[in-house]
């Protein structure tokens, strides 16, 4: 989604506009997967603006959508966003514990082929599925 790109470039206001448009469109057409991604984008904008509580609320909604959809990759990515949120909220011990739990979940999931999960495989950290 373009809103994530704009967020990464620091253009929070444009990222918000696109994420909100995406939320409205996807809600109206019933596309729950893209609605969840729009909510995640809004959560990152909220984090960028320092609105930790709003970001957490949006991520909880996102997590619920991905759980109901059975999308394990997106579910784990949302948990990773919670790790970032914890770091943003100055809770480094929680971020580290949650990050370890998310990594273990990822390593024990069917998100990627188990044979690819080795430290010697340079594509492991860059797997985008």
pLDDT single digits (tens) 53-102: 999 999 999 999 999 999 988 998 999 999 988 888 778 888 888 888 88
Domain tally, the chain = 1
* Range of the structural domain that residue 56 is part of: 2-126
pTM: 0.78
Kindly report the length of the chain: 129
Summarize the confidence of residues 109-128 as an average pLDDT: 50
Q: Is the dihedral of CA 46, 51, 55, 57 positive or negative?
A: negative
**Cα separation, 58 vs 64, whole angstroms:** 10
pLDDT tens digit sequence for 1-47: 788 888 889 999 999 999 999 999 999 999 999 999 999 999 999 99
Cα three-residue angle 39-59-9, rounded to 5 degrees: 60
pLDDT at residue number 102: 86
Residue 124 has pLDDT above 60, yes or no: no
Q: Residues with Cβ < 8 Å from 74, sequence gap 6 or more?
A: 33, 36, 37, 66
Q: CATH number of the domain that 73 lies in?
A: 1.25.40.10
């Amino acid at each position: 989604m373009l809103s994530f790109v704009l967020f990464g470039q620091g253009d929070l206001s444009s990222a918000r506009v696109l994420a909100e448009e995406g939320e409205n469109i996807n809600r109206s057409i019933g596309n729950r997967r893209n609605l969840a991604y729009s909510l995640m984008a809004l959560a990152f904008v909220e984090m960028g603006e320092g609105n930790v509580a709003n970001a957490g609320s949006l991520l909880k909604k996102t997590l619920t959508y991905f759980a109901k959809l059975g999308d394990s990759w997106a579910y784990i990515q949302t948990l990773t966003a919670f790790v970032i949120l914890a770091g943003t909220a100055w809770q480094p011990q929680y971020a580290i514990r949650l990050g370890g739990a998310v990594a273990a979940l990822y390593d024990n999931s069917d998100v990627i082929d188990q044979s690819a999960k080795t430290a010697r495989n340079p594509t492991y950290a860059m797997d985008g599925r």
